[in-house]
Structure 1
Amino acid sequence: MSMDMSLLPAPAVIEVLDFEVILARRVAEFQELCEQAGFDYSLLLESDPAMKLLEVQAYQELEMRQRINDAAKACMLAYATKTDLDNLGANYQVYRLIVTPADPTAVPPVEAVYEDDERFRERIQLAPEGTTTAGPVDSYRLHALSASAEVADVGIDSPIPGTVRVTVLSTDPSGVPSEALLNTVGGALNAEKIRPLCDSVPVQGPEIFETVITAKVYRYEGPAGEVALANGKIALDKWLLKIRKLGKGLPHSGIDAALHQPGVDRVEITDPPADMLCTKTQWVRVTAIKVLEEVVSG
């Protein structure tokens, strides 16, 4: 399984920027030069025109350094986005898939919809596995994800020797792959140059468990508590999107971590009644989210 690049430490080449630090350095350099020239600028007031000029220069330097940071990130797989990511993918002969083709005959014309950055990033990360036949797990995963942009996730396991079972989760909200999608993935994995000779590779849809999330958030009174509740709902949506994968399940700890924002006293989870655990052939579909609130005194 490919590593989670979000867990990588920040690269040393990315500079931490601080406008006040840059300004203080420029002021000190300016005062030193003035002293050498015989001018006394030891008391540099905020209203002084020289101070305004130094502030402008410091801001310009900040922008320049931020541009350097952005350029450095654009060269890294963990940070690159959009066309920068496309160019990194080209180094591995991996190209962004089309989700919905363009329709120039429509009124107005419809542009093509392409694979999102995160899914494309994972395929680039898996690209070295594609130099072999689909023997390793990550090689099967790469070829399955590359078969169609409708593949949201892939589970690979071997229930019996000689059989590699591939489970496909669809990008459709239901998660259920169509027969056409299963056939597309199966055709890609069973190609002569992809599948090892001795492997049998059945392709199937996942076993899906449906549930709702019901939780009560005990928040502190006042604006801070209201913000905490709103942030918790946003965090929960983001977390659910992140774990929309086979085998991830639905643990209470994740729900609690998302909703338990600063300004929240505690979280009570009613549904699901317990952690929902899954195998690589299973997926939990959340059909509804209900977050109740109760205000408590700090």
Structure 2
Amino acid sequence: MTDAVTVKALAGLPPAQVIEELSWQAIVDRMVARFQTLWEAERVANPALAPYDTLLLASDPARKLIELAAYVEMALRGRLNDAARSNLLFYTDGTDADHLVIFYDVLRMLGESIEALKSRTILAIAGRSPGGPRERYEAIARAADVRVRHAHAYRVGRDPTIHVAVWSADNAGVADEALLATVRAALEDDGHGLINDTFAVRAAVFAAVDITLDVWLLPAAMESILVAIPGAVTAAWSAETGMGFDLAAEWVQARAMIAGVQRARMTSPELAAEPYQAISIRSVAINYRGRAY
């Protein structure tokens, strides 16, 4: 899952220094202090001027002008922040993202989400060499069709054949023959790789599993929450996992612990996956075991 891990890593970077933390009140306070300094300097030059001691009153006219000026400065600096964000892959959005990624020869596909576009752009950058690394082939597979959620390129031993496993964004993750043919054609295109590359394209999903959970509820919980557990587990599996992710009881049980659940225990078998394999959850069956503290 090179692409997914890399995208998640962007969120772990320190905040970009070019993006300022803005505070309207801090701007007002700075302007008030500056006004008071300038006024005192004027009083030194002209002792007849009275002290200006009403600047902290909300009704003071000078205060109103300062607040207006602070609003204008806040808006301008906020616009600068937005411009900076539009040029950073992690923050960019909308058509700004389309203009940013075109620099890396990436075009948004019809129906492609912003998250998919960003991860595909990172793959394109990492795989700039036409003869590899594996990110090159994964980027080609991702760009072949918007239905390709993830792709994993690998070799078996010293065999030069390039294997590409494809995980679909629909059909419970199972890539159908039409999608595999589209990816294979993209990989074998003369403009994409070396003329001696040999590809074997396959579906990444090798198992669709049925999960069984024993569930205990808290004394005050309504039994109707039981029907929400399968959706919570499958939604988390889709959002948090990917190719090479094992089906572990601890992971499933943790996602089943929605509000009102006292304990959950997976009774169906666990399943391990190779880095180029993916597991699909076909169903989640709930066995209600009563209530507990």
Say if 1:144 and 1:154, in contact at 8 Å, map to a contact too: yes
1:260 deviation in Å? 8.4
The residue aligned with 1:104 is none
Say if 1:157 and 1:280, in contact at 8 Å, map to a contact too: no
User: Is 2:143 the counterpart of 1:138?
Assistant: no
1:76 deviation in Å? 1.2
Q: Using the alignment, how far apart are the partners of 1:150 and 1:52 within structure 2?
A: 55
SS in 1 for 2:70: helix
Deviates more, 1:185-194 or 1:141-150: 185-194
Say if 2:55 and 2:63, in contact at 8 Å, map to a contact too: no
Pick aligned residue for 1:270 from 243, 265, 269 = 265
Pick aligned residue for 1:164 from 156, 162, 165 = 162
Q: Using the alignment, how far apart are the partners of 2:79 and 2:254 within structure 1?
A: 34
Q: Using the alignment, how far apart are the partners of 2:106 and 2:114 within structure 1?
A: 13
SS in 1 for 2:199: coil
- Describe the shift of the 1:18–1:256 C-alpha distance in structure 2 as closer, same or farther (beyond 3 A): farther
The residue aligned with 1:180 is 178
1:173 deviation in Å? 4.3
Q: Which has the higher contact order (CA 8 A, sep 6+)?
A: 2
The residue aligned with 1:8 is 13
Say if 1:209 and 1:283, in contact at 8 Å, map to a contact too: no
- Describe the shift of the 1:36–1:217 C-alpha distance in structure 2 as closer, same or farther (beyond 3 A): farther
TM-score norm. by structure 2 comes to 0.74
- Describe the shift of the 1:14–1:274 C-alpha distance in structure 2 as closer, same or farther (beyond 3 A): farther
Say if 1:167 and 1:280, in contact at 8 Å, map to a contact too: no
Q: Using the alignment, how far apart are the partners of 1:24 and 1:265 within structure 2?
A: 48
Pick aligned residue for 1:60 from 72, 77, 100 = 72
Which structure: larger Rg?
A: 2
Q: Using the alignment, how far apart are the partners of 1:115 and 1:11 within structure 2?
A: 26
Q: Using the alignment, how far apart are the partners of 1:20 and 1:272 within structure 2?
A: 57
Amino acid at match of 2:18: V
Deviates more, 1:138-147 or 1:244-253: 244-253
The residue aligned with 1:97 is 109
Amino acid at match of 1:210: V
1:127 deviation in Å? 2.3
1:78 deviation in Å? 1.9
Pick aligned residue for 2:52 from 40, 53, 57 = 40
SS in 2 for 1:202: strand
Q: Using the alignment, how far apart are the partners of 1:213 and 1:13 within structure 2?
A: 50
Structure 2 counterparts to residues 248-263 of structure 1, below 5 A: 248-250=245-247
The residue aligned with 2:209 is 210
SS in 2 for 1:96: coil
SS in 1 for 2:190: coil
The residue aligned with 1:30 is 35
> Identity over aligned residues, as a percent?
29
Amino acid at match of 1:128: I
For structure 1, the residue ranges without an aligned partner over 5 or more in a row are 99-113, 222-232
- Describe the shift of the 1:163–1:61 C-alpha distance in structure 2 as closer, same or farther (beyond 3 A): same
1:69 deviation in Å? 0.8
The residue aligned with 1:69 is 81
String of CA shifts for 1:206-243, please: whole Å, max 9, x gaps: 21343458697999x9xxxxxxxxxxx99988754443
String of CA shifts for 1:139-195, please: whole Å, max 9, x gaps: 110110011111011122222422221111111141111211100101111223434
TM-score norm. by structure 1 comes to 0.73
SS in 1 for 2:146: coil
Structure 2 counterparts to residues 215-226 of structure 1, below 5 A: none
- Describe the shift of the 1:181–1:8 C-alpha distance in structure 2 as closer, same or farther (beyond 3 A): same
Amino acid at match of 1:192: D
- Describe the shift of the 1:82–1:244 C-alpha distance in structure 2 as closer, same or farther (beyond 3 A): farther
May I ask how many residue pairs the two structures share in their alignment? 269
SS in 1 for 2:166: strand
Q: How much is the aligned-residue C-alpha RMSD, in angstroms?
A: 3.8
Q: Using the alignment, how far apart are the partners of 1:213 and 1:48 within structure 2?
A: 69
1:60 deviation in Å? 2.7
Deviates more, 1:150-159 or 1:35-44: 35-44
1:290 deviation in Å? 9.0
- Describe the shift of the 1:235–1:6 C-alpha distance in structure 2 as closer, same or farther (beyond 3 A): farther
Structure 2 counterparts to residues 232-247 of structure 1, below 5 A: 240-247=237-244
For structure 2, the residue ranges without an aligned partner over 5 or more in a row are 43-48, 221-229
- Describe the shift of the 1:190–1:216 C-alpha distance in structure 2 as closer, same or farther (beyond 3 A): same
Amino acid at match of 1:162: P
Q: Using the alignment, how far apart are the partners of 1:271 and 1:72 within structure 2?
A: 47
Amino acid at match of 2:279: V
- Describe the shift of the 1:54–1:154 C-alpha distance in structure 2 as closer, same or farther (beyond 3 A): same
Amino acid at match of 1:125: I
